[in-house]
Amino acid sequence: MRLRIRGLFEPTTIAGGEAPDPAHPYYQVAGIVRARDWSAWHIDVSNPKQTYWLNHYPRVGHKIYKEDFEATIPMAAGGAVTVRVVDGNDRQMDNAEPGLPDRMQIVAGVTDKPLDGQMLRLDVRRVTVREPRDPDDRTLLERHVQVDRMASVGLVERLERHSRNREPKCGWVAGN
């Protein structure tokens, strides 16, 4: 699944992960949170089981970074995707705090005014289907692809509906 990932994030540090794209070192695959008092934005996939971190930085600080990049996340048909933010001290950098150079940011095409907190927008750009290894699996695969395409559209629609109805100060969890 190819995603466009846009957001405003405070930094955290991830130990033991790897950056698959040198142009986007803040995107890490695998690893664990090293700075537990900072917001950790991530996507968990159930099959194959993996965590994709969206805000890894060399060090933490009272800053907000704007990100806009694409990433491919492998996922088996019927797998679950959970998007979440976990903050160890239940506080986050406030984007609406005036007077700081990294605040009052917007994400073009997503918000037209600064939100109070941080944010994440995911757009499913492409779902690529691999051929089954066993021809007998084709019918099952076709059913999963149809369901997965509907779930992808549903996830985007739920996230858009959520962001229109509420401007979250913290995070949210979306799953299938």
What per-residue confidence (pLDDT) applies to 153?
46
Q: Which two tokens stand for residue 135?
A: 């021809």
Report the distance separating Cα 115 and Cα 112, nearest Å.
9
pTM for the predicted model, two decimal places: 0.74
Question: Residue 174 falls within a domain, yes or no?
Answer: no
Percentage of residues of the chain with pLDDT beyond 70: 74
Report the helix count and the strand count for the chain, using DSSP H and E: 1, 9
d(CA 31, CA 52) in angstroms, rounded, equals 9
pLDDT of residue 136: 56
Asked if residue 13 belongs to a domain, the reply is yes
Kindly write down the DSSP assignment for every residue of 49-84, as one continuous string. Answer: EEEEES-B-SS--S--EEEEEEEE----TT--EEEE
Report yes or no: 94 and 116 within 8 Å, Cβ to Cβ: yes
Locate 5 and state its tokens.
Answer: 């990932």
Predicted local distance difference test score (pLDDT) of residue 97: 87
Up-side HSE of residue 88: CA atoms within 13 Å toward CB? 11
Residue 173 counted as domain residue: no
Q: How many distinct structural domains can be found in the chain?
A: 1
Task: Say if 171 falls within a structural domain.
Answer: no
Residues of the chain with pLDDT under 50: 139-176
Domain limits for position 128: 2-165
Any domain includes 123: yes
Within a domain: 170? no
